[in-house]
Chains A and B, each alone.
Chain A
Amino acid sequence: AQTVTQSQPEMSVQEAETVTLSCTYDTSESDYYLFWYKQPPSRQMILVIRQEAYKQQNATENRFSVNFQKAAKSFSLKISDSQLGDAAMYFCAYRSAGGNEKLTFGTGTRLTIIP
Chain B
Amino acid sequence: NAGVTQTPKFQVLKTGQSMTLQCAQDMNHNSMYWYRQDPGMGLRLIYYSASEGTTDKGEVPNGYNVSRLNKREFSLRLESAAPSQTSVYFCASSRWGGNYNPIYFGEGSWLTVV
Residues B102 and A45 in contact, CB atoms below 8 Å apart:
no
B47 to nearest A CB, angstroms?
Answer: 11
Interface residue ranges of B65-114 to A (CB < 8 Å): 88, 90, 92, 94, 99-100, 102-105, 107-108
- A52 within 8 Å of B by Cβ? yes
Which of B42, B94, B100 has a CB less than 8 Å from the CB of A4?
Answer: B42
Residues B42 and A45 in contact, CB atoms below 8 Å apart:
no
Q: Which residues of B contact A95 (CB under 8 A)?
A: 99, 103
CA distance A101 to B41 in the complex (A): 20
Which residues does A use to contact B, with CB under 8 Å? 4, 32-33, 35, 42-45, 47, 50, 52, 91, 93, 95-98, 101-108
Which of B40, B50, B103, B108 has a CB less than 8 Å from the CB of A103?
Answer: B103
* Chain A residue nearest to B98 in the complex (CB): A97
Chain A to chain B contacts (Cβ below 8 Å), 14 pairs: A33-B100, A35-B102, A42-B107, A44-B105, A44-B108, A45-B90, A45-B92, A47-B104, A50-B102, A91-B43, A97-B100, A103-B45, A105-B43, A107-B40
Residues A101 and B43 in contact, CB atoms below 8 Å apart:
no
CA distance A95 to B99 in the complex (A): 7
A9 to nearest B CB, angstroms?
Answer: 8
Residues B42 and A105 in contact, CB atoms below 8 Å apart:
yes
Other A-B pairs beyond A47-B104, A97-B100, A106-B42, 11, CB < 8 Å: A4-B42, A43-B88, A43-B107, A96-B99, A101-B31, A102-B58, A105-B43, A105-B44, A107-B40, A107-B42, A108-B42
CA distance A9 to B50 in the complex (A): 32
By Cβ-Cβ distance, the 8 closest A-B pairs, closest first, are: A105-B42, A45-B105, A43-B108, A47-B102, A95-B99, A105-B43, A107-B42, A33-B100
Q: Which residues of B contact A96 (CB under 8 A)?
A: 99
* Chain B residue nearest to A51 in the complex (CB): B100
CA distance A103 to B41 in the complex (A): 14
